[in-house]
Amino acid sequence: MSAQPGQPFQTYGYQTSVDIVQRGTYNIAPLAGSKRPPDPSAEEDHRVVGARHPQDAQSAVGRPVDFIRPSLVLPKARLVASEIYPVAATVPGRNGRQQNGLSADQESAHNPLLSLHHPTYGLPPALLANFAAVGLKSIYQWQASCLLAPGLLQGRRHLVYTAPTGGGKSLVADVLMLKRIMENPGRKAILVLPYVALVQEKLKWLRRIVQDVEKSVADTDDQADHAKPYHQRWKKLQRSIRVTGYFGGSRTAASWADTDIAVCTIEKANSLINTTIEECSIGDLGVVVLDELHMLDDEHRGYLLELMVTKLLLLRQDIQIIGMSATLSNTEMLAEWMKAVYFISTYRPVPIDDYLVYENAIYPAATSRQLFQTISRLKSMTNTSLMDSMPPHRMIRLSNFRELANPMTNATVALAIDTAAAGYGALVFCGSRQACQIQAGIISEAMPAPSEETDELSKRLDLLAELRSLPSGLDPVLENTVPRGVGFHHAGMTTEERELIAQAYDEGIIRVLIATCSLAAGVNLPARRVIINGARMGRELVGPAMLRQMCGRAGRKGKDEAGETYLICGNSDLQSVCDLLEADMPAIESCLAPEKRGLKRALLEAIATGLVSGTDAIKEYVKCTLLYLTVEKKIVYSIMRSALQELITEGLLHLNDDESYSPTQLGQAVVASAFAPEDGLFVHEELKRALQAFVLDGDMHIFYMFTPIQAAAGTPIDWPIFRDQLDNLDESGLRALQFVGVQPGFVNSMVQSGASLKENTPEQVKQARIYRRAYTAFQLRDLSNEVPLATIASRYRIPRGTVQTLAQQCHGFAAGIVKFCQRMDWGMLAAVLDHMRDRLEAGARADLLEMAQVTYVKGWTARLLRENGFRNLRALAEADAKDLVPILMMVNPRKAQKSQLHPTEAERYAKKLLAKAEVIVASANKIWGAYD
């Protein structure tokens, strides 16, 4: 069936854009790009890469390999995806799809205010050129209406707004923030994002956008000064916009004074604002952007966002606050709290069709309630089928393959393969990490193998080589799925693995990506089709906000012309899913309520930073909270008095004779270290005991102190492993753990009984915290003693990503512990801990700290380089990159040797390692040059 001239892109509900592509109506270029011409220099790059010893390495490097390059042929698909076919009785319709009308360029020509070049926005040519380079020349009508609201472009009003995912929210905040920084060169910006991955992504974006953009710095110097080269460089530095990232694990050299835009996680932003208030430099702040504002009611971190806004509102400084989210329901109430202009947009530039898949039948999601009612009615009837009563738009054929017998699996595979075959990307959400890997395996078995010697296969093999060159090695599941264009993405993977897989999917190298729901909020990856395999993430049903986040990944301007979402559900969840599809977004609530204990920290921070002290000022501060707007006033003041009394009882605040409050030394230390009051008190108790008898003839006591409380709180203990690690401790390590409260006898009894820790009383809670921290401390000890990450993951039976996350969390917690000791005037303890903090960051013993500064050289890699002749930074700087390749090969514990790899893969692997070796030598040269 061919499209007729003038016919809309989709004619019938059952004929999707993917169907049209498969019928050959439109020519779709493959996302992977065109085939590369043969590289004439490729033959010169064949090397022997399997040397195991340094002596072999020196002789092997540079010797040509005596073989003709063979092809890597993938076997045919073992499974066949089921056919998706239309149902004849389907009534033609648009499924609620919006008509977008004019194209962006046509709208811009029709309305000049939709062009970013319009003088009303006052954007400089360099910024406009950078926007144009990434495809942003015009804006949508809603963006223009929002920006042109009175006072926003001038920075006089706060703003709260909501728009669908992919609707262009970020651009509004970017324009307002950059305009504020450029026009007020003495002012700074803080951009707050909930996840490290989003911070890193935004950092790259902003640095690209502000390249060569200058602030409006007054030029009052005379011509003689301008002739000086140094002065010119300084002027250029003054005018440039400096973007810095602040997140867990980062140790940036840039200070607040050296930064124009600070891109932060929630915790870092709150700590930064506290510091500026305490040091009286808050006047330098000009704008704060809060992305993902719906995080306000997050159980664990929401109160920190509320604290930030509350402090800024109380200050009444000339600081513009901008909050945005795709999932706000009570936008007007939040705007009232923030004294802001509010804006609500429902515009979606790329239209989306939503479907519900049940028992291999595909229905419009809008009719889910009718579907459930029909099924319920049919249960009490005979001789009537669901197909007769409520025909679906399309059907998925039943499969004869045992692996596809489950209707949900069959539908997932069919929809994913159907999308990939048309040249588009499919994003599949699963309820657990294990389910991601299982689904990736099944889908890859049904994916057709790419032809030999295609650019697509070549890029996938390059990706495999890149993954193999990581210190953690190549995951065996990815080794099988990636050549067929299927990958997975979850928190159990290392950061490097997730970044490589996400980039490959974004570039079309991977066609189908299977992910947990955390990807929906953490990474910006659009798809033609979003397929949700079951409405449960873990054991819990997803909420309306998370469902919207996942579905929002479908269709993205500049990537796709349309988007589709498919929620696949089983019989047991059908009613819950129907309710979910019709559910309203939950209202955002305050996290300072008594049961969440957030107000206690809010008051301690406000008093410790000198923001408030007297009772009237404290009441004024409380009036600025979201809690005050949503709870009866008497109750709020009652919570306030109780919290203040608790802080006094715990020794964090002092009540003065004039009825004002001041922080104790302990209270100041807790706030400076960015700990919650409860965590700060626990740390204080343990550090006080450590001062009396710190075990310094070994490292175990320090590793225990550096173990993050919150990370250890969720750690399940494998008691036999705990016992084995205790048995392997030397006398110093055993003494350190016994000192903090670990008893070997108790560990043995837990092994024998198979019981779990009880946490019913305060004493049991404290005991559980100690044992979990001790168990987690073993992992930190291994990380700092150069044990490979993959070995640690295997030893404790945990995912590699969990080990890496622990290391990242530990950096921030360790910095907090050091600050705590400094504020308590425990200088000697602070010095000891600060040295170990360097070791922890390097993942190496003291003798390798200098070498571990080099890019790609951490822990085990540094040790191998040292043992194989490169004994210091200078030797590494003077090395030939080729000589490092055999040593880097020894880092990877999995299939590192050429003899275990197909020759084609071995060649690619060697090239990736050579590229890393060149980066290592360049980095060592740069650091060594700084010392010279």
Q: 341: which 2 tokens? A: 């202009």
Please determine, for residue 867, whether its predicted confidence score (pLDDT) is greater than 90: no
3-state secondary structure of 180: helix
pLDDT top residue among 27 and 332:
332
- Please classify residue 111 by burial: count the beta carbons closer than 10 Å to its beta carbon, then call 0-12 exposed, 13-18 middle and 19+ buried: middle
Q: How far apart are CA 746 and CA 386, in angstroms?
A: 60
Q: How far apart are CA 124 and CA 179, in angstroms?
A: 9
**392 touches 362 (CB < 8 A):** yes
The domains located in the chain, with CATH, are 158-344 (3.40.50.300), 352-582 (3.40.50.300), 594-663 (1.10.10.10), 675-843 (1.10.3380.20)
Query: What would the pLDDT profile of 457-467 be if each residue is shown by its tens digit?
Result: 889 988 998 89
pLDDT top residue among 591 and 454:
591
pLDDT top residue among 862 and 114:
114
Residue 355 pLDDT? 92
663 has which bridge partners? Answer: 653
Q: Parallel, antiparallel, or unpaired: how do β-strands 394-396 and 361-364 relate?
A: antiparallel
Q: Which residue in 919, 927, 914 sits closest to 887, CA to CA?
A: 914
User: 285 — phi, psi (to 5°)?
Assistant: -80, 130
pLDDT top residue among 930 and 280:
280
Residue 598 pLDDT? 83
Of 231-235, 382-386, 743-747, give the range with the top mean pLDDT: 743-747
Residue where the block lists tokens 């000192």:
739
Calculate the average pLDDT of the chain: 81
Query: What would the pLDDT profile of 656-684 be if each residue is shown by its tens digit?
Result: 999 899 999 999 999 999 898 999 998 99
DSSP conformation letters of 529-569: EEEEESSEETTEEPPHHHHHHHHTTB--TTT-S-EEEEEEE
Q: Which residue in 28, 10, 25, 9 sits closest to 86, CA to CA?
A: 10
Could you tell me the CA-to-CA distances from 826 to 275, 666, 669, 761, 819 in Å, in that order?
Answer: 21, 12, 11, 32, 10
pLDDT average, residue stretch 153-169: 91
* Weakest mean pLDDT among 191-205, 330-344, 571-585: 571-585
pLDDT top residue among 860 and 724:
724
pLDDT average, residue stretch 886-898: 65
Please determine, for residue 803, whether its predicted confidence score (pLDDT) is greater than 60: yes
Confidence of residue 5 (pLDDT cuts 50, 70, 90): very low
Query: What would the pLDDT profile of 764-790 be if each residue is shown by its tens digit?
Result: 888 998 999 999 999 988 988 888 888
Contacts of 499 (CB under 8 A, 6+ apart): none
Please determine, for residue 98, whether its predicted confidence score (pLDDT) is greater than 50: no
Residue 552, number of CB atoms within 10 A of its CB: 23
Query: What would the pLDDT profile of 257-314 be if each residue is shown by its tens digit?
Result: 889 999 999 999 998 999 899 888 899 999 999 998 988 988 788 889 999 999 999 9
Q: What is the percent of the chain with per-residue pLDDT over 70, rounded to a whole number?
A: 82
Residue 534 pLDDT? 86
Confidence of residue 58 (pLDDT cuts 50, 70, 90): very low
Q: 582: which 2 tokens? A: 């019709």
Q: Which residue in 685, 587, 601, 573 sits closest to 630, CA to CA?
A: 587
Could you tell me the CA-to-CA distances from 757 to 371, 715, 752 in Å, in that order?
Answer: 46, 12, 13
- The 8-class DSSP code of residue 70 comes to P
Of 198-212, 248-262, 825-839, give the range with the top mean pLDDT: 198-212
Neighbouring C-alpha atoms within 13 Å toward the C-beta of 924:
28
Residue 907 pLDDT? 79
DSSP conformation letters of 230-261: HHHHHHHHHHB--EEEE-TT---S--GGG-SE
Q: How far apart are CA 120 and CA 110, in angstroms?
A: 16
Please determine, for residue 714, whether its predicted confidence score (pLDDT) is greater than 90: no
pLDDT average, residue stretch 475-486: 91
**889 touches 50 (CB < 8 A):** yes
Q: How far apart are CA 34 and CA 346, in angstroms?
A: 37
Residue 931 pLDDT? 58
Q: Three-class SS string for 704-738?
A: HHHCCHHHHHCCCCCHHHHHHHHHCCCHHHHHHHH
H/E stretch holding 428 reads strand 426-429
Confidence of residue 222 (pLDDT cuts 50, 70, 90): very low
* Weakest mean pLDDT among 105-119, 433-447, 694-708, 729-743: 105-119
**886 touches 56 (CB < 8 A):** yes
Q: Which residue in 574, 580, 89 sits closest to 371, CA to CA?
A: 574
Query: What would the pLDDT profile of 528-560 be if each residue is shown by its tens digit?
Result: 999 999 888 877 888 888 888 888 888 877 677
Confidence of residue 36 (pLDDT cuts 50, 70, 90): very low
Please determine, for residue 440, whether its predicted confidence score (pLDDT) is greater than 90: yes
Confidence of residue 901 (pLDDT cuts 50, 70, 90): low
**852 touches 747 (CB < 8 A):** no
Q: Which residue in 533, 413, 508, 407 sits closest to 78, CA to CA?
A: 413
Residue 16 pLDDT? 55
Query: What would the pLDDT profile of 595-622 be if each residue is shown by its tens digit?
Result: 766 889 999 999 999 999 999 999 999 9
Residue 654 pLDDT? 95
Q: How far apart are CA 243 and CA 334, in angstroms?
A: 29
Q: How far apart are the first and last CA of the chain?
A: 73
Residue 511 pLDDT? 94
Residue 579 pLDDT? 84
Residue 21 pLDDT? 46
Please determine, for residue 61, whether its predicted confidence score (pLDDT) is greater than 80: no
Please determine, for residue 84, whether its predicted confidence score (pLDDT) is greater than 70: yes
Confidence of residue 342 (pLDDT cuts 50, 70, 90): very high
* Weakest mean pLDDT among 99-113, 574-588, 601-615, 907-921: 99-113
**65 touches 42 (CB < 8 A):** no
Residue 145, number of CB atoms within 10 A of its CB: 13
pLDDT average, residue stretch 175-200: 91
428 has which bridge partners? Answer: 514, 531
Residue 870 pLDDT? 85
Confidence of residue 137 (pLDDT cuts 50, 70, 90): confident
Residue 586 pLDDT? 82
